[in-house]
Amino acid sequence: MKIFNVGAQRPATEDARSARLAAATDLVQRTLAQHGLLPGHDAQQDGLAQPIFTKFGSLPQGISNLTTRQTGPATPLPQGAEFRKDVFTCDAGSRPYRHYVPSGAKQGVTGIVMMLHGCTQTPEDFATGTNMNALAEEHGFIVVYPQQARGDNAQSCWNWFRRGDQRRGRGEPALLAALAQKLMTDFDVPRDHCFVAGLSAGAAMAVILGETYGDVFTAVGAHSGLPYASASDVPSAFAAMAGNRQGSPASASTGRAVRSIVFHGTADTTVHPSNSGRIGVNTATGQVIETTEHGVAAGRSFSRKVTSQTNGTITAEHWLIEGLGHAWSGGQPGGSYTDPKGPDASAAMVRFFYQTNKESH
């Protein structure tokens, strides 16, 4: 998965922009080459990559289980359901988005799940790969897929590594939270039924939203992501992705408890699995109980650590999937960066989002 647009700093002049882009491009090229991620052909496949990046001609070691996107006819919507396309604009900016409205929405919806795609992905691609629309139809919730603008990141990545996009009241967090609030109003959804999840750069931004807008999002799902404020620029982003982040995890607590469910593969060579253990979205303080279970699902072994309060309220789950690369666990082969093997991350996240208090087995 492509990481982020190294030219997203927006220099004041064209000369400065060109110089910084050239320097950053060189850094990215060298870093990707060091990690064996620069095979060097078909940079424009599917129209998703910019010239400074290349698509994988052969999959790098450690992500041989990656399923790349396949094209085909769209799955027909259930009668009465809609997959709407719109543009949202507020003081923090403007972004296109898709949102799935289940067939029973006129009778009321159960909540909102915001899904933040990874780099080079689109809302349609992400919806296909995660199968979240089918779960929305089954459980009666709205799914919203904001789309990162190419003008803000050439690789369509959410800018999780920029300080200006890690804070409340500005940048992408402000825009995404405002979009969620709009839909909450439109569909009469209370705060404790609004959730956010993402993959890779989208997961990192979902964690940021949990830290900065705990009054909007009540739970976060992070798949193959990074902890809050892991980086402040391109070099520190690469270091964080490699698992070399320095210091203790930062926090931007809003004072509201936000539950979190985390998925990561042990064979992820894009974002080091150690990052998943450092994701600490705001959770309620006090004494907690941790339990760990091991199992096998769809051919992959996994461990699942559950953190709960003494009254049984589950505040966090951490899933580590053996042999999974940088891909959505249990995802659909029609979407990019999915692996059909392993636990169904989408179903697990929805179950976690909507669970009440005590764990059910």
User: Which CATH number goes with the domain that contains 200?
Assistant: 3.40.50.1820
Is the CA virtual torsion 172, 328, 331, 317 positive or negative?
negative
Reported residue count of the chain is 361
pLDDT tens per residue, range 213-265:
999 999 999 999 999 999 999 899 999 999 987 554 555 555 567 999 999 99
Comparing C-alpha atoms, which of 114, 77, 112, 111 is closest to residue 97?
A: 114
Alpha-helix runs per DSSP H in 78-218 = 123-130, 132-139, 171-186, 201-212
- Is residue 70 included in any domain, yes or no? no
Percent composition of the chain: helix, strand, coil (DSSP 3-state, to 5): 30, 20, 50
Q: Answer yes or no: is 5 within a domain.
A: no
In a domain, 95, yes or no: yes
Domain with 189, as residue range(s), is 14-58+77-354
Question: Residue 237 corresponds to which tokens in the numbers above?
Answer: 């982003």
Name, in order, each residue with C-beta under 8 angstroms of 52's C-beta and a sequence gap of 6 or more. Answer: 6, 25, 28, 29, 43
Number of domains composing the chain: 1
Residue 45 confidence (pLDDT): 26
Amino acid 282: pLDDT: 60
Q: What is the dihedral of CA 330, 333, 336, 341, to 10 degrees?
A: 30
Residue 154 lies in a domain: yes
Predicted TM-score (pTM) of the model is: 0.80
Is position 67 within any domain? Answer: no
Q: What is the predicted pLDDT for the residue at 198? A: 98
pLDDT of residue 311: 84
Q: What per-residue confidence (pLDDT) applies to 309?
A: 87
What pLDDT score does 354 carry? 93
- In the chain, which residues have pLDDT < 70? 1-74, 246-256, 281-285, 356-361
